[in-house]
A = this chain, B = another copy of it.
Amino acid sequence: MSRRSPNRVAAKRRAYAAVFAALGDQTRLALVARLSHGEPRSISQLTRGRRLSRQAITKHLRVLEGAGIVRSVRSGRESLFEFHPETVIDLKGYLDFVSQQWDQALSRLQSFVER
């Protein structure tokens, strides 16, 4: 049987919730879009042209980093942020799991109705 300790399930959930929460913001979503487009960018580059202060952008980047969605590397006087795809792939997996659970529920209902 798939018995999985509730604690383990809860821990997983907390982790996924943190990733979802990190993506749950316009600004951060825009940053992810920008970074997923290619090369690593510095905080200044990511701030330039935006209406938010550098510090605000920095905080958002740290949230994304904390969730494992981006990585930062210091390079001289700037710190470069780079998209880290694994976490997003993993999240897709979670959504897949939820969808599949639903599909299976539907087909169970279906076979019940049909008998």
Contact = CB atoms under 8 A, between A and B. Distances in A.
A88 B98 contact: yes
Which interface class (under 10, 10 to 19, 20 to 34, 35 or more) fits A?
35 or more
Contact of A38 (B30, B83, B99, B108): B108
Instruction: Report how many copies the assembly holds.
Output: 2
| Interface majority SS (helix, strand, loop, mixed), chain A | helix
25 contacts: A13-B33, A14-B26, A16-B23, A16-B29, A17-B23, A17-B24, A17-B28, A18-B24, A20-B20, A20-B24, A20-B25, A21-B25, A23-B24, A33-B98, A33-B101, A36-B98, A36-B99, A37-B101, A38-B105, A38-B108, A38-B109, A85-B99, A88-B98, A92-B92, A92-B95
Interface of A: 10, 13-14, 16-26, 28-30, 32-33, 36-39, 83, 85, 88-89, 91-92, 95-96, 98-99, 101-102, 105, 108-109
